[in-house]
A and B are shown apart, each in its own frame.
Chain A
């Protein structure tokens, strides 16, 4: 088998093989991940998570569904099947976002490959093969176990051939078609955008659509309704959901291929086929046209267009240093795709939570009695917002450009740290608090809502100060690259800790909102906590030296062959 693969690969043109290998490592949007990230390691981690998820799904399928009678299994399986398909589509959606633009020619390809004797066709096929390879790997790993266990649990009672093999084929066909639908839909959007818009406008449009797609994929996954039984599927009230949700279309397709789809739901499966056809043809046509037309556009694009019409916005935001840190952070968040994509992940969940609460309020039609729903939703929003912003704070925009901050550091470190804190409060806490206040308008009595909002503000301040313990850095300038530290461990432990803290606060807050004495005690406790953390961070920052975690020169000059002397590392860290 290996020999056959080697033989087949060796029959391919050399340039195709070389390009395919190069593009394979570039499928992941370097700008969206990190220019210095270790892509094979990242893909390995990704595959590990997918296999783990597959294992969990298999255990659920085996332990929960296998003991059921065929009738019960058929009744209860709808929800799980639709969940598995939706999760697969979510995973492919995340892949689509982080590999955004990977199949299309870019300026770097033009500059590097144009002078070489390589045809556009070779570039196109190499890029498609690279993206397809990673997509295939994702489908395979995410369903490595569940892709066998689930068809086994579902199909074997109906016999090995008619039951298991048919279910197995139907399941994998569904997974592949659902993945292709997601992938080619993204290609079609990008491709037609590139063809219809001027190149510069497209670059902006593409970055915005990438983030919007991420938000949409996450929102749909978290917010779409679920149908838990065949009766619910047939219910006239749910036809709108079936008509609008792609995961239900492919769920119907699966059951159609298995031969168990009720005839009245055939139209849902038909939607899947039509959507697949449209997205595949749209993706392919736009891709081909892009390689024919857009490559010329890229080549003709001037290096620099005068931007006379631009404006320079430099408002004073409380001191020069504060203005500098706030504007630098804002511009980084607005202009760096890498930071936007990471942040979009967290803010999408915040957005989904807010949307979910709004949906309930709209459904109720009138103000509801204050319950723990508002504190749960808003506290979680606050946690995710602070965590999201704090995480992107640690992702450097350009390590090599940091020299300017080091040679112009005229203010004490404590002022830089204070500016970073204020910026985090401004970006992460204030918007969530405003949204929470707006959500609170649909609850009564308003006095309880106001009481909660005061607590929420304090929780926000505490979370910010907790996040910035020993953060003696300028946002977006220090390196905490994937794999370089125990960052992932600290991050997930921190997230879990914050969620627990927020939930604990709610358990104290709910009785306190009905008892003024208890409320005053809780308010005092939280205020003391907030003030204590602020004072601690400020005290630490006074004696701190701003830290730019760059690779020590010793390591660079010795190519990691020699360990730097401890004194040199210590002095560098100082």
Chain B
């Protein structure tokens, strides 16, 4: 289980993530939602260890992730929000590099890389430089790199970004399959429809603070709203979106 206990992140005294506590359990897909700038990616980066926590604790399977970071990293797979990759490498070279960094035996790594590249429809372009890859192809490389070592904790930050319809449907099923195999899946996205379909519970963040942490079914009944979109709008959207849209249309027409 992944557990966040009163986690905060301050930049120059300003709380970007403020006293956030929640847990993600094995066998569940936990949706992590919030508007832009609410602190979602910062939280995920703290969970990965990329940035340090200002206050609080993050525990995985009962142990603080800072106790034995190497053992923790070994069990974690992470798809970041932005598809930043070493563009001078080819797809297969990048995945091989990650496998070597993860100390995967060469034979197992080759088999898994080949298999993943085929299943993700990247096999024909495996020798092409990543610089030439489309956003969706880069996203697939990130997904393959995050999963090839069979991690117990899967952190997905906007994993559907740039994927075509077929790949997105496949990824949706894959996330559910990973949860069914007992993995802890934390999934951050703006696509509420997808979150509603695949997540058993959601955590909603607004201005760095936790505003909801429950199952979708329970939230629906508590708030008496039929959809996750309605719940999210009520908890985390402040603007009158229709009015804003009208103002933009008026502005460019003037």
Would A409 and B124 be within 8 Å (CB), given that A304-B132, A327-B97 are in contact? Answer: no
Contact of B100 among A308, A311, A324 (CB under 8 A): A324
Asked if B232 lies at the interface with its beta carbon under 8 angstroms from chain A, I say: no
- Taken residue by residue from 130 to 167, chain B's Cβ proximity to chain A (1 for < 8 Å, 0 otherwise) reads as 00111001000000010000000000000000000000
Which residues between 1 and 55 of chain B lie within 8 Å of chain A, taking CB atoms?
A: 11-14, 16, 48-52
- Taken residue by residue from 317 to 353, chain A's Cβ proximity to chain B (1 for < 8 Å, 0 otherwise) reads as 0001101100110011001100000000000000000
B86 near A398 (CB under 8 angstroms)?
yes
User: Which of A92-100, A209-217, A268-276, A558-566 participates in binding chain B?
Assistant: A558-566
Asked if A75 lies at the interface with its beta carbon under 8 angstroms from chain B, I say: no
Minimal beta-carbon separation of B149 from chain A (angstroms): 9
The CA-CA distance from A327 to B89 in the complex, in Å, is: 10
Contacts of B101 in A (CB 8 A): 320-321, 324, 404-405, 408-411
Contact of A404 among B49, B137, B145 (CB under 8 A): B145
A398 near B92 (CB under 8 angstroms)?
no
Contacts of B82 in A (CB 8 A): 400
A306 near B11 (CB under 8 angstroms)?
no
A310 near B103 (CB under 8 angstroms)?
no
Contacts of A314 in B (CB 8 A): 93, 96, 106
A316 to B, closest residue via Cβ: B106
Asked if B197 lies at the interface with its beta carbon under 8 angstroms from chain A, I say: no
Contacts of A316 in B (CB 8 A): 106
Contact of A410 among B52, B70, B78, B134 (CB under 8 A): B70
The CA-CA distance from A387 to B93 in the complex, in Å, is: 28
Would A407 and B76 be within 8 Å (CB), given that A306-B128, A332-B88, A553-B51 are in contact? Answer: yes
Asked if B196 lies at the interface with its beta carbon under 8 angstroms from chain A, I say: no
B90 near A407 (CB under 8 angstroms)?
no
A200 to B, closest residue via Cβ: B132
Minimal beta-carbon separation of A553 from chain B (angstroms): 6
Asked if A403 lies at the interface with its beta carbon under 8 angstroms from chain B, I say: yes
A336 to B, closest residue via Cβ: B88
Asked if B235 lies at the interface with its beta carbon under 8 angstroms from chain A, I say: no
The CA-CA distance from A321 to B96 in the complex, in Å, is: 11
A397 near B90 (CB under 8 angstroms)?
no
Asked if B126 lies at the interface with its beta carbon under 8 angstroms from chain A, I say: yes
Which residues between 40 and 97 of chain B lie within 8 Å of chain A, taking CB atoms?
A: 48-52, 70, 73-74, 76, 78, 80, 82, 84-90, 92-93, 96-97
Asked if B102 lies at the interface with its beta carbon under 8 angstroms from chain A, I say: yes
Contacts of A311 in B (CB 8 A): 127
Asked if A406 lies at the interface with its beta carbon under 8 angstroms from chain B, I say: yes
B12 near A312 (CB under 8 angstroms)?
no
Of the listed residues A306, A332, A336, A572, the one surrounded by the most CB atoms of chain B closer than 10 A to its CB is A306
Contact of B88 among A307, A331, A403, A554 (CB under 8 A): A331
Of the listed residues B11, B14, B84, the one surrounded by the most CB atoms of chain A closer than 10 A to its CB is B11
B11 near A410 (CB under 8 angstroms)?
no
B11 near A558 (CB under 8 angstroms)?
yes
Would A312 and B100 be within 8 Å (CB), given that A306-B124, A307-B127, A398-B87 are in contact? Answer: no
A565 to B, closest residue via Cβ: B12
The CA-CA distance from A248 to B76 in the complex, in Å, is: 65
Asked if B213 lies at the interface with its beta carbon under 8 angstroms from chain A, I say: no
Contact of A320 among B49, B80, B100, B132 (CB under 8 A): B100
The CA-CA distance from A459 to B134 in the complex, in Å, is: 47
Contacts of A403 in B (CB 8 A): 48, 50, 80, 84
Minimal beta-carbon separation of A492 from chain B (angstroms): 29
Minimal beta-carbon separation of A269 from chain B (angstroms): 47
B52 near A571 (CB under 8 angstroms)?
yes
The CA-CA distance from A509 to B97 in the complex, in Å, is: 43
The CA-CA distance from A328 to B86 in the complex, in Å, is: 10
Asked if A300 lies at the interface with its beta carbon under 8 angstroms from chain B, I say: no
Contacts of A320 in B (CB 8 A): 100-101, 103-104, 106
Minimal beta-carbon separation of B81 from chain A (angstroms): 10
Asked if B120 lies at the interface with its beta carbon under 8 angstroms from chain A, I say: no
Contact-residue size bin, chain B (C-beta under 8 Å from the other chain): 35 or more
B48 near A407 (CB under 8 angstroms)?
yes
A310 near B127 (CB under 8 angstroms)?
yes
Which residues between 392 and 422 of chain A lie within 8 Å of chain B, taking CB atoms?
A: 397-398, 400-401, 403-412
A558 near B12 (CB under 8 angstroms)?
yes
Contact of B73 among A312, A410, A568 (CB under 8 A): A410
Contacts of A264 in B (CB 8 A): none
Contacts of B12 in A (CB 8 A): 554, 557-558, 562-565, 568
Asked if A303 lies at the interface with its beta carbon under 8 angstroms from chain B, I say: yes
Contact of B49 among A336, A406, A562, A571 (CB under 8 A): A406
The CA-CA distance from A345 to B232 in the complex, in Å, is: 58
Contacts of A327 in B (CB 8 A): 93, 97
Asked if B98 lies at the interface with its beta carbon under 8 angstroms from chain A, I say: yes
A312 near B49 (CB under 8 angstroms)?
no
The CA-CA distance from A3 to B70 in the complex, in Å, is: 65
The CA-CA distance from A407 to B133 in the complex, in Å, is: 23
Would A411 and B103 be within 8 Å (CB), given that A400-B84, A403-B50, A557-B11 are in contact? Answer: yes
Which residues between 369 and 399 of chain A lie within 8 Å of chain B, taking CB atoms?
A: 397-398
The CA-CA distance from A309 to B128 in the complex, in Å, is: 10
B149 to A, closest residue via Cβ: A408
A404 near B98 (CB under 8 angstroms)?
yes
B54 to A, closest residue via Cβ: A568
Asked if A305 lies at the interface with its beta carbon under 8 angstroms from chain B, I say: yes
- Taken residue by residue from 278 to 315, chain A's Cβ proximity to chain B (1 for < 8 Å, 0 otherwise) reads as 00000000000000000000000001111111111010
Contact of B85 among A306, A308, A401, A568 (CB under 8 A): A401
B88 near A335 (CB under 8 angstroms)?
yes
B74 near A410 (CB under 8 angstroms)?
yes
The CA-CA distance from A273 to B57 in the complex, in Å, is: 76
Of the listed residues A310, A411, A564, A571, the one surrounded by the most CB atoms of chain B closer than 10 A to its CB is A310
Which residues between 64 and 111 of chain A lie within 8 Å of chain B, taking CB atoms?
A: none
B134 near A303 (CB under 8 angstroms)?
yes
Would A407 and B49 be within 8 Å (CB), given that A306-B125, A320-B103 are in contact? Answer: yes
Q: List 15 A-B contacts (CB under 8 A).
A: A310-B127, A310-B128, A312-B92, A312-B96, A321-B101, A324-B100, A331-B89, A397-B86, A401-B87, A407-B50, A407-B78, A411-B70, A557-B11, A564-B12, A565-B12
What is A's interface to B at a CB cutoff of 8 Å? 303-312, 314, 316, 320-321, 323-324, 327-328, 331-332, 335-336, 397-398, 400-401, 403-412, 553-554, 557-558, 562-565, 568, 571-572
What is B's interface to A at a CB cutoff of 8 Å? 11-14, 16, 48-52, 70, 73-74, 76, 78, 80, 82, 84-90, 92-93, 96-98, 100-104, 106, 124-129, 132-134, 137, 145
Q: Which 4 A/B pairs are nearest by Cβ-Cβ distance?
A: A310-B127, A324-B100, A307-B127, A400-B84
Contacts A314-B96, A401-B84, A407-B73 known; list 8 others, CB within 8 Å. A304-B125, A308-B124, A309-B127, A312-B90, A312-B126, A327-B97, A410-B73, A563-B12
